[in-house]
Chain A
Amino acid sequence: AQSVTQPDIHITVSEGASLELRCNYSYGATPYLFWYVQSPGQGLQLLLKYFSGDTLVQGIKGFEAEFKRSQSSFNLRKPSVHWSDAAEYFCAVGDYNFNKFYFGSGTKLNVKP
């Protein structure tokens, strides 16, 4: 069965520190992987996506993610966090025609000044 696991419910980092949000997936075929960010009371904004090719993908706002097939992971990283990055982050896996999206439970990021 398809599933996405985000093991960290809450993460707090200091402004300027590096960030890594974990995502593990279970999917029977080649996964199409996404990271979205949601600010309070808002919809989801696409940060980046992976379909094929280079396993390190660059996204908006300085985020990047690395696909590791052997570990079934797609972790999100940012070298230096800004206070405006505080939000909830969702990892998702999509099916081959981008209809069925399975979302993780989300990781809420707090940024300390």
Chain B
Amino acid sequence: GAVVSQHPSRVICKSGTSVKIECRSLDFQATTMFWYRQFPKQSLMLMATSNEGSKATYEQGVEKDKFLINHASLTLSTLTVTSAHPEDSSFYICSARDSGKETQYFGPGTRLLVL
């Protein structure tokens, strides 16, 4: 089946620093990738939709200047949490839509802890 990877799987950073998370589709091309955030014991909330070669579309309430998304190739999207603060600590999950298949494939997630 389709595989989506994320790196890093876990990151701890100091408040005020920026963190970049990578999402890769390993065996298919993904023109569209998605970034979700999951708080403890809660469901996934869509943050933004990333389209290759164009600007990301952010969901209401998500700060685009805080969560920078780049989708430079058909297999890679990055999420950069800028000037991270403790309230940004969360589990970030990406997914990728395989153009030939009607579903999204999810990465394993990245646990971010901001001290």
Chain B residues, CB < 8 A from A43: 4, 6, 93, 106-109
Please tell me if the beta carbons of B106 and A45 are within 8 angstroms of each other in the complex: yes
Do most interface residues of chain B lie in helix, strand or loop, or is the interface mixed? strand
* Count of chain A to chain B residue pairs whose CB atoms are closer than 8 Å in the complex: 51
Please tell me if the beta carbons of A42 and B108 are within 8 angstroms of each other in the complex: yes
Please tell me if the beta carbons of A44 and B93 are within 8 angstroms of each other in the complex: yes
Mask: chain A, 23-57; 1 = CB below 8 Å from B; 0 = not: 00000000010101000011111100101000000
Mask: chain B, 95-110; 1 = CB below 8 Å from A; 0 = not: 1010000111111110
Contacts A104-B43, A105-B43, A106-B43 given; does A98 touch B108 at CB 8 Å:
no
Interface size on A (CB < 8 Å)? Answer: 21
Chain B residues, CB < 8 A from A104: 43
Chain A residues, CB < 8 A from B104: 94, 98, 101
Does chain A have a CB within 8 A of B78? no
Chain A residues, CB < 8 A from B95: 44, 101
Mask: chain B, 33-53; 1 = CB below 8 Å from A; 0 = not: 010000000111110010000
Closest to A4 in B: B43
Does chain B have a CB within 8 A of A74? no
Does chain B have a CB within 8 A of A67? no
Task: Tell me the chain A residues, 79-113 only, with Cβ under 8 Å from chain B.
Answer: 90, 94, 98-101, 103-106
Closest to B59 in A: A100
